Amino acid sequence: MSVVTVQLGQCGNQVGQELFGIICSDAQEGQRKTYSAASCERFFHQTAHGDFVARAVLIDMEPKVINHSMTKAATSGRWRYGDTSHFSQKQGSGNNWANGYCVHGPRHREVVEELVRREVERCDRLAGLMAVMSVAGGTGSGVGTYVTQCLRDIYQKSFILNHLTWPYGTGEVIVQNYNSVLTLAHLYQLSDAILVHENDTVHRICSQLLNIKHISFSDVNRVIAHQLGSVLQPALTADSHGAYSRNPLGELVSTLACHPEYKLLNVCTIPQMPSSSIAYSTFSWPGLLKHLRQMLISNSKMEEGIDWQVRPPAGSEQTRSLTGASFNTSLANLLILRGKDVYSAETDGFEDPALYSSWLSSKEAFNLWKSPVPFNKYEKSATLVSNSQALLRPLDNMVGKAWNMFASRAYIHQYIKFGISEEDFLDSFTSLEQVVASYSQLC
Amino acid sequence: MTQSVVVQVGQCGNQVGCRFWDLALREHSHVNKKGLYDEALSSFFRNVDSRKGDGRTCGVGGRIQHLKARAVLVDMEEGVVNEILQGPLREVFDSTQLLTDVSGSGNNWAVGHMTYGSAYREQIVEKLRRAAEHCDCLQCFFLIHSMGGGTGSGLGTRVLSLLEEEFPEVCRIVTSIYPSAEDDVITSPYNSVLAMRELTEHADCVLPVENQSLVDIVSKIQHMSHGAKPGQVIRRDSAIISGRGGLSAAEKPFDAMNNIVANLLLSITSSARFEGSLNMDLNEIAMNLVPFPRLHYLVPSLTPLYTLADVSVPTRRLDQMFSDAFSKDHQLIRADPKRSLYLACALMVRGNVQVSDLRRNIERLRPSLPFVSWNQEGWKTGLCSVPPVGHSHSLLALANNTCVKPTFVELRERFTKLYRKKAHLHHYLHVEGMEQSCFSEAIASLGSLIEEYHHLDATKGTLMPDAPRLSISR
Ligand SMILES: Nc1nc2c(ncn2[C@@H]2O[C@H](COP(=O)(O)OP(=O)(O)O)[C@@H](O)[C@H]2O)c(=O)[nH]1
Ligand SMILES: Nc1nc2c(ncn2[C@@H]2O[C@H](COP(=O)(O)OP(=O)(O)O)[C@@H](O)[C@H]2O)c(=O)[nH]1
Ligand SMILES: [Mg+2]
Ligand SMILES: [Mg+2]
């Protein structure tokens, strides 16, 4: 089954390009025929000449980024984007969600729908749609939300996953928290699951784990693509009976996003290190999993500075205590192990009921995918996708900052100009406060 | 790619505008070695094939034929425009882009705004439309004018409201030259206050520049280049003050000052003209820097101004550039943003500067800069990879900061001094369409603007509690 990716805005088109790059080179590495075939079917179609063409649609309101991503893909020599699978305009959305959602989105609805439809028709079977974008700008956030809404209408039975890049805390777009609030509140009603990468976290991984001095967006995007790729590449699931699962998005959604109030998924991957060091390092599954588990429960998003003091609340007592405050409660977790000796890896630590909310048994709450094929040069690698309180604090911050700004009505006129009212803002705030409340009451 | 059109009105507007075109040409010829008409050039220039004779614009990609500035030049006297037409920039404009009269506005806002505004309305609109038709995606109008005279101030602000009427979706960024206290135009306080009301109501952003600041900067630069200490040598080819742009040779009195303003325009448009790893679109400026529609005065500061960096840059120099942008003597109005309150701030960087340099410097400077409570992280940044000619990097900071208030207060005082005595008032009230109420409304508008800044200023230093969050009933 295949996934159709829709890349929107600058960030979406840059992250998407890195993602396809990593997926393609990973699939073509070494002799791994079935894995490779499953991956390709999922993300590429092959032309009569044997070219791998990404199952992707590229959307932006300005031409530069799309041109750049298409050129970069083509020069890889391994894969490319479809010659006619992109749509761009001349002038961006100016960091304004309302401009994207109310003006650009509706204006170009038909073209975009047609591009997606063509890509969908190329798939023998559609596993679902994935929209990739940032929440802070104007096009990815505004047009991305609008397009997600159109896709929801047309593909009512398909899975729709949104991959969102969250902004740096400061320094790029002043109205980023407004744009983020509007995007998230709307997507919460539309999307089956929302997979999040925070730029601050990924940036820290680049500097502290990968030792990169001058960090560029490409560096950040490679980390995102690595983590996302390790979720999306073929794996054996509990009931796929030794064959690669056919529906990555469907299984992801059904294992992790089982309740409409809880859709925010956080991803972490270990190990991550400079590629020059990989060859000299050895890893053991118990070591990796011990770290990853502690990262989960202490909510460290990176394998550095993990707080080893945090413990699950003792016994069956599940009420929130003061000491338990920094314990990160999960609703559901999906662990994906790739590489050597995966079958020997012990994952009991993740099945501990103390990790989970009381209303799902740990059997239902925990899922495990495995693949013996090493991923992206790492002999062993473990990725955890968790629906937990991991994103509660960043979400709460984002809503809080936007709310403070809204209290003085700063910048609102810029949105009203394009057709968004104060009421619309209030609705969005209300629905995100609901999400914040739901996650903080998770226990 | 998008295009912009420059509208230069009056003596000052046209003189500053021409420095911009001159330096822009120099900048492009420095970067564009192949002689091809590229996207970068197309944002501010048309490429016209003169053989075809119909003045049609050639598409991007071909050889450069004849570059024509995307500009409309308006003046109500002939001197300045004639000089341009006899000078080295004459090729860049053709007669269809020009509009002149012979008798000038006599430093009277009312004559410019009312008399000429009505008489030339159709012709101005026609020229603006024609300039717009040459663009395939018009993003922004840049209006350049002075506040103190008659044409730029009066007719310039009339053009501004015409732009709003005719092209409501196109962003309007105005560069306004404010008179110094000793300005030779006696009526400049009237003209400036009358113009202010128009700017406050019809512009998307205003970049105020005070002549006194330009004078101070120029004299400091000249002082340094004469008594040059080692390490403080001003490079001769630096675009900041050198009048030797691409074309013009001799320097005129205002040239050194106008070059500084032209550099401001080069910087603010650099992201629209060249590539960069963090593009800042022109429509992002107002979106990020203007929290309330009337408070759209963005104080510019430019670095480097005094000491010019070597080509190979040790980090300290780069960091110094960021520090300088917040110091008093780099502001283009006489103001001290550090001691006032920031509503928002943009850093537009050119040259070999990385995102990590930006982040480091913002972190370093943030503690010393007061930001309004609801916008503690009010930073917008842009990186353009092409530096100004003769530099390895440069920085333009645009501060939406309450430090503009003293300039406005001072202007109001000068206005009141004249107005109390009704000095020269009859020259204005003679003019058809001009009434006493224009004065009272203009001063009221300025008063309420000052008041709005004042209210924000008063919140400085007080710790505002977070707004109580919406509570969710479960
Ligand atoms: N990780 C990552 N973030 C990006 C990239 N480009 C832009 N961003 C982030 O996206 C936000 C700005 O949105 P952008 O995608 O540029 O706007 P759009 O083109 O209008 O959708 C900011 O939070 C940036 O940090 C990228 O390539 N990678
Ligand atoms: N910086 C600068 N200021 C000028 C220039 N020409 C005139 N001014 C100032 O502009 C004001 C007079 O307006 P001016 O532009 O001459 O009048 P107009 O032709 O009627 O618009 C005074 O404050 C002058 O100091 C110039 O070329 N550069
Ligand atoms: Mg962008
Ligand atoms: Mg004059």
**How many structural domains are present in chain B?**
3
**pLDDT digits (tens), chain A, 443 positions:** 999 999 999 999 999 999 999 999 999 887 789 999 999 999 999 999 989 999 999 999 999 899 999 999 999 999 999 999 999 999 999 999 999 999 999 999 999 999 999 999 999 999 999 999 999 999 999 999 999 999 999 999 999 999 999 999 876 899 999 999 999 999 999 999 999 999 999 999 999 999 998 888 999 999 999 999 999 999 998 877 778 878 889 999 999 988 999 999 999 999 999 989 998 888 999 999 999 999 999 999 888 889 999 988 875 554 444 444 589 999 999 999 999 999 999 999 999 999 999 888 888 999 999 999 999 999 999 999 999 999 999 999 999 999 999 999 999 999 999 999 999 999 999 999 999 999 999 87
Task: Indicate which CATH number applies to the domain containing B42.
Answer: 3.40.50.1440
Q: Which of A62, A171, A217 sits opposite B381 (nearest CB)?
A: A171
Q: Which residues of A touch B466 (CB under 8 A)?
A: 400, 403-404
Cα-to-chain-centroid distance, residue B49: 31
**Following DSSP, what letter does each residue of A305-363 receive, concatenated?**
S--TT--PPSTT--S--SGGGGS--EEEEEEEEEETTGGG---GGGT-GGGB-TTS-HH
For residue A345 the two structure tokens come to: 């890896």
Q: Which H or E run includes A59? A: strand A56-60
Q: How far is A91 from chain B (nearest CA, A)?
A: 6
Smallest CA–CA separation between A373 and chain B, in Å?
36
Q: Give residue B309's pLDDT.
A: 38
User: Containing domain of residue B286, as a range?
Assistant: 3-291
Contact (CB, 8 A) for A6 and A151:
yes
- Cα of B177 vs centre of ligand 4, distance in Å, is 12
Q: How far is CA A411 from its chain centroid? A: 29
B356: nearest CA in chain A? A214
CA dist., res. B40 & res. B28, Å (int): 8
Q: Are residues B278 and B322 in the same domain?
A: no
Same domain, B399 and B413: no
In a domain, B454, yes or no: yes
For residue A170, report the distance from its CA to the centre of ligand 1, in Å: 13
Query: Ligand 3 centroid vs B1 CA: distance in angstroms?
Result: 14
CB B189 within 8 A of CB B199: no
pLDDT, mean over chain B: 90
> How many Cβ pairs closer than 8 A exist between chain A and B?
110
Do residues B208 and B286 both lie within one domain?
A: yes
In a domain, B412, yes or no: yes
Helices B282-289 and B255-273: crossing angle, nearest 10°? Answer: 100
As a 3-state breakdown, chain A gives helix, strand, coil percent values, each rounded to 5, of: 50, 20, 35
Query: Do A171 and B359 lie within an 8 Å CB cutoff?
Result: yes
The pLDDT of residue A320 is 47
Across the interface, whether the CB atoms of B469 and A406 are under 8 A apart is answered: no
Q: Note whether B288 contacts A173, CB cutoff 8 Å.
A: yes
Residue B251: predicted pLDDT:
62
CB-nearest to A174 from B139, B344, B467 is B344
- Give the containing element (helix H, strand E) for A369: strand A366-371
Q: Which of B135, B356, B358, B400 to mutate to test the interface with A (most CBs of A within 10 A)?
A: B356
Q: Kindly give the parts of chain B with pLDDT less than 70.
A: 52-55, 225-252, 306-316, 474
d(CA B449, CA A162): 44
B280: nearest CA in chain A? A94
B390, B405, B420 — which closes off a domain?
B405
Instruction: Among B256, B291, B326, give the residue marking a domain's end.
Output: B291
What lies within 8 Å, CB to CB, of B53 at 6+ separation is: none
Asked whether B179 lines ligand 2 (CB < 6 A), one says yes
Strands (E), A72-192: 86-88, 126-134, 159-166
Domain membership flag for residue B231: yes
Cα A9 to middle of ligand 3, angstroms = 7
Q: Which residues of A touch B467 (CB under 8 A)?
A: 403-404, 406-407
The verdict on the CB of residue B248 being under 6 Å from ligand 2 is no
**Peptide bond preceding B367: is omega within 30 degrees of 0, i.e. cis?**
no
CA proximity to A311, closest of A326, A301, A300: A326
Q: Where are the domains of chain A?
A: 2-261, 269-314+325-389, 393-441
Q: How far is A355 from chain B (nearest CA, A)?
A: 24
Residue B185 domain-assigned?
Answer: yes
Measuring from each residue's beta carbon to the nearest atom of ligand 1, which residues come in under 6 Å? A 9-11, 14-15, 92-93, 134, 136-140, 165, 167-168, 172-173, 176, 199, 217, 220-221, 224
> What's the CA-to-centroid distance between B250 and ligand 2, angstroms?
19
Output the pLDDT for position A245.
79
- Are B204 and B334 found together in one domain? no
Q: Between B2, B288, B466, which is nearest A174 by CB?
A: B288
Distances (CA, A) of A383 to A265, A369, B225: 12, 10, 61
- Give A410's contacts in chain B (Cβ within 8 Å): 291-292, 343, 374-375
Interchain CB distance below 8 Å, B466 and A404:
yes
B249 and B166 in a common domain: yes
Q: Is residue B64 part of a domain?
A: yes
| Contact status of A404 with chain B (Cβ, < 8 Å) | yes
- The ligand that comes nearest to the alpha carbon of residue A164 is 1
Residue B431 and residue B396 share a domain: no
**Residue B363 and residue B377 in one domain:** yes
From atom 4 of ligand 1, which residue's Cα is the shortest distance away? A11
How close is the nearest chain A Cα to the Cα of B432, in Å? 35
- The distance from CA B397 to its chain's CA centroid, rounded to whole angstroms, is 12
| Listed residue (A386, A382, A385) closest to A371, CA to CA | A382
CATH of domain A269-314+325-389: 3.30.1330.20
Mutate to test the pocket of ligand 2, among B9, B12, B207, B214 (most ligand atoms within 8 A of CB): B12
State the Cα–Cα distance between residues B170 and B3, nearest whole angstrom: 11
Q: Evaluate whether residue B469 is within a structural domain.
A: no
Do B343 and B378 sit in the same domain of this protein?
A: yes
Distance B411 CA to ligand 1 centre (A): 42
CA–centroid distance, residue A362 to ligand 2 (Å): 77
In this complex, the residue of A96, A403, A411 whose CB is nearest that of residue B467 is A403
Cβ–Cβ gap A410/B291 under 8 Å: yes
Contact A230/B at CB under 8 A? no
The Cα–Cα gap between A435 and A405 comes to 20
pLDDT at B55: 64
CB-CB neighbors (< 8 A) of A430 in chain B: 470, 472
C-alpha A314/C-alpha A310 separation (Å) is: 11
Task: Encode A326-362: b = buried (16+ Cβ within 10 Å), e = exposed.
Answer: ebbbbbbbbbbbbbeebeebebebbbebbbbbeebeb
Q: Say yes or no: B185 and B133 in one domain.
A: yes
B232 plus B343 within the same structural domain: no
Residue nearest to atom 5 of ligand 1 (CA): A11
The rounded Å distance from CA B324 to ligand 3 centre is 27
Ligand 2 pocket member B151 (CB < 6 A)? yes
Q: Are residues B18 and B104 in the same domain?
A: yes
Compute the distance from residue A10 Cα to the ligand 3 centre, in Å: 5
Ligand nearest to the CA of A180: 1
* pTM for the predicted model, two decimal places: 0.94
HSE at residue B203, side-chain half, CA atoms within 13 A, is 26
Side-chain-side CA neighbours of B22 within 13 Å: the count stands at 30
Among candidate residues B365, B390, B405, the one where a domain is terminated: B405
Distance, CA of B334 to CA of B405 (rounded, Å): 11
* Closest alpha carbon within chain A to B296: A411
Which of the residues B43, B279, B280, B281 would you substitute to probe the A interface, choosing the one with the greatest number of A C-beta atoms within 10 Å?
B281
Q: What is the pLDDT of residue B194?
A: 98
Residues 6+ apart with CB under 8 A from A103: A418, A419
Interacting residues of B277 by C-beta distance below 8 A, sequence separation 6+: A216, A217, B355, B383, B385
User: Which residue, among A27, A132, A19, A28, has the nearest Cα to A72 in the 3D structure?
Assistant: A19
Dmax of chain B from CA atoms?
77
3-class SS string, chain B? CCEEEEEEEHHHHHHHHHHHHHHHHHHHHHHCCCCECCHHHHCCEEEECCCCCCCCECCCCCECCEEEECEEEEECCCHHHHHHHHCCCHHHCCHHHEEECCCCCCCCHHHHHHHHHHHCHHHHHHHHHHHHHCCCCEEEEEEEEECCCCHHHHHHHHHHHHHHHHCCCCEEEEEEEECCCCCCCCCHHHHHHHHHHHHHHHCCEEEEEEHHHHHHHHHHHHHHHHCCCCCCCCCCCCCCCCCCCCCCCCCCCCHHHHHHHHHHHHHHHHHHHCCCCECCCHHHHHHHHCCCCCCCECEEEEECCCCCCCCCCCHHHHHHHHHHCCCHHHECCCCCHHHCCEEEEEEEEEECCCHHHHHHHHHHHHHHCCECHHHCCCEEEEEECCCCCCCCEEEEEEEEEHHHHHHHHHHHHHHHHHHHCCCCHHHHHCCCCCCHHHHHHHHHHHHHHHHHHHHHHHCCCCCCCCCCCCCCCC
Note whether B334 and B416 are same-domain residues: no
Closest-approach residue (CA) in chain A for B289: A174
A2-261 belongs to which CATH class?
alpha beta
Strand partners, B205: B173
CATH number at residue B331: 3.30.1330.20
Q: Are the beta carbons of B374 and A407 separated by less than 8 Å?
A: yes
- Nearest Cβ partner for B377 among A92, A169, A399: A169
